[in-house]
Amino acid sequence: MKTVAITTPYITLGQLLKFSNLAQSGGAIKMMLEAEECFVDGVLETRRGRKLYPGMTLRLIDGTEIQVTHAADQSDA
Protein backbone atom coordinates (compact mmCIF):
# COMPACT_ATOMS: atom_id res chain seq x y z
CA MET A 1 0.00 0.00 0.00
CA LYS A 2 1.31 3.42 -0.94
CA THR A 3 0.93 6.39 1.35
CA VAL A 4 0.51 10.03 0.40
CA ALA A 5 1.31 12.60 3.07
CA ILE A 6 -0.58 15.88 2.79
CA THR A 7 0.07 19.19 4.52
CA THR A 8 -3.48 20.49 4.09
CA PRO A 9 -6.58 19.30 5.98
CA TYR A 10 -7.74 17.25 2.95
CA ILE A 11 -7.02 16.41 -0.69
CA THR A 12 -9.68 15.88 -3.35
CA LEU A 13 -9.96 12.54 -5.10
CA GLY A 14 -9.04 14.16 -8.43
CA GLN A 15 -5.95 15.80 -6.96
CA LEU A 16 -4.86 12.51 -5.39
CA LEU A 17 -5.25 10.61 -8.66
CA LYS A 18 -3.13 13.18 -10.52
CA PHE A 19 -0.55 13.52 -7.73
CA SER A 20 -0.11 9.74 -7.60
CA ASN A 21 0.26 9.58 -11.42
CA LEU A 22 -2.78 7.32 -11.69
CA ALA A 23 -4.43 9.76 -14.10
CA GLN A 24 -2.76 12.25 -16.40
CA SER A 25 -5.65 14.66 -16.97
CA GLY A 26 -9.06 15.70 -15.78
CA GLY A 27 -10.58 13.73 -18.65
CA ALA A 28 -8.80 10.57 -17.55
CA ILE A 29 -10.09 11.09 -14.01
CA LYS A 30 -13.63 11.52 -15.28
CA MET A 31 -13.38 8.29 -17.27
CA MET A 32 -12.05 6.37 -14.25
CA LEU A 33 -14.89 7.59 -12.08
CA GLU A 34 -17.55 6.89 -14.71
CA ALA A 35 -16.15 3.36 -15.10
CA GLU A 36 -16.64 2.88 -11.33
CA GLU A 37 -12.96 2.15 -10.68
CA CYS A 38 -12.47 4.07 -7.40
CA PHE A 39 -13.44 3.09 -3.87
CA VAL A 40 -12.90 5.27 -0.80
CA ASP A 41 -12.85 3.27 2.43
CA GLY A 42 -14.59 0.44 0.58
CA VAL A 43 -17.42 2.58 -0.84
CA LEU A 44 -17.73 3.28 -4.58
CA GLU A 45 -16.92 6.93 -5.31
CA THR A 46 -17.83 8.80 -8.50
CA ARG A 47 -17.14 12.40 -7.42
CA ARG A 48 -13.72 13.81 -8.27
CA GLY A 49 -14.25 16.56 -5.70
CA ARG A 50 -14.65 14.04 -2.86
CA LYS A 51 -12.54 15.20 0.08
CA LEU A 52 -10.09 12.64 1.42
CA TYR A 53 -8.80 13.19 4.94
CA PRO A 54 -5.82 11.57 6.68
CA GLY A 55 -6.67 7.98 7.59
CA MET A 56 -8.80 7.39 4.50
CA THR A 57 -7.86 4.79 1.89
CA LEU A 58 -8.37 4.89 -1.88
CA ARG A 59 -8.57 1.54 -3.68
CA LEU A 60 -8.77 1.06 -7.43
CA ILE A 61 -10.20 -2.00 -9.14
CA ASP A 62 -6.71 -2.94 -10.34
CA GLY A 63 -5.70 -3.48 -6.69
CA THR A 64 -3.81 -0.21 -6.17
CA GLU A 65 -4.28 1.14 -2.65
CA ILE A 66 -3.28 4.57 -1.34
CA GLN A 67 -3.53 5.63 2.30
CA VAL A 68 -3.80 9.38 2.96
CA THR A 69 -1.71 10.54 5.90
CA HIS A 70 -0.83 13.91 7.34
CA ALA A 71 2.73 15.14 6.82
CA ALA A 72 3.04 16.00 10.53
CA ASP A 73 2.33 12.33 11.34
CA GLN A 74 5.27 11.32 9.12
CA SER A 75 7.77 13.54 10.91
CA ASP A 76 6.74 12.17 14.34
CA ALA A 77 7.59 8.58 13.36
Q: Note if the pTM is more than 0.85.
A: yes
Distance CA 63, CA 77 (A): 27
Band of the pLDDT at 75, cuts 50, 70, 90? low
Band of the pLDDT at 68, cuts 50, 70, 90? very high
Band of the pLDDT at 77, cuts 50, 70, 90? very low
52 pLDDT above the threshold of 60: yes
In this structure, are residues 4 and 38 in contact, taking their beta carbons and an 8 Å threshold? Answer: no
70: CATH: 3.10.290.10
Domain that holds residue 52: 2-76
- The tally of domains found in the chain comes to 1
74 pLDDT above the threshold of 70: no
Distance CA 69, CA 25 (A): 24
